[in-house]
Amino acid sequence: MNKNFKVITINGIRGIIAVVFIIFGLIAGFIVSPGWLCMKLWNYCFEYSNVVSYMNIYQGIMLWAAIVLSLYALNNKKPLIGFGTYQGLSPEQIREIILRAKQAEKKVFKEMTKNIDYKNFDIKSDKIKENIEKVKDEKEELRR
């Protein structure tokens, strides 16, 4: 069973009235009021025009719906408001992400060190200097 499952309970007639009030409030706030505003703006802009007629509230709501649907269709980003619950990453997903990060780090390190000229570095360790000198001597002997 899903732990994040939400249950909405409505108790009695008062609960039903509250739900109806909430639904009508949302409709009035997000549909009718902007539609009324669109109607008023349209009528104000074309008040003295003989070409365009006045708009009633139903046409204002349709204009508002056209504006909202156009903006929604043209918006290629994720919606700003989403419903659901975040369940987080599983331990396997976290391990996979860490493994990919380590592999990417190794790849970047290899790319960075690929074109390094080690001859021009200042060597501070005596053992490393001795080993380098031995390798150089062996190379010279092989060349002769």
Taking the C-alpha atoms of residue 46 and residue 54, their distance in angstroms, rounded to an integer, is 8
Taking the C-alpha atoms of residue 81 and residue 133, their distance in angstroms, rounded to an integer, is 67
* Angle, alpha carbons 38-27-10 (nearest 5°): 170
Taking the C-alpha atoms of residue 31 and residue 124, their distance in angstroms, rounded to an integer, is 76
Three-state DSSP class for residue 113 = helix
Q: What is the pLDDT along the chain (144 residues), one digit of tens a residue?
A: 566 677 778 888 998 999 999 999 999 999 999 999 999 999 999 888 888 888 999 999 999 999 999 888 887 776 666 666 666 778 888 899 999 999 988 888 877 776 666 666 655 566 677 777 888 887 777 776
pTM for this entry: 0.47
Domain ranges of the chain: 12-74, 91-143
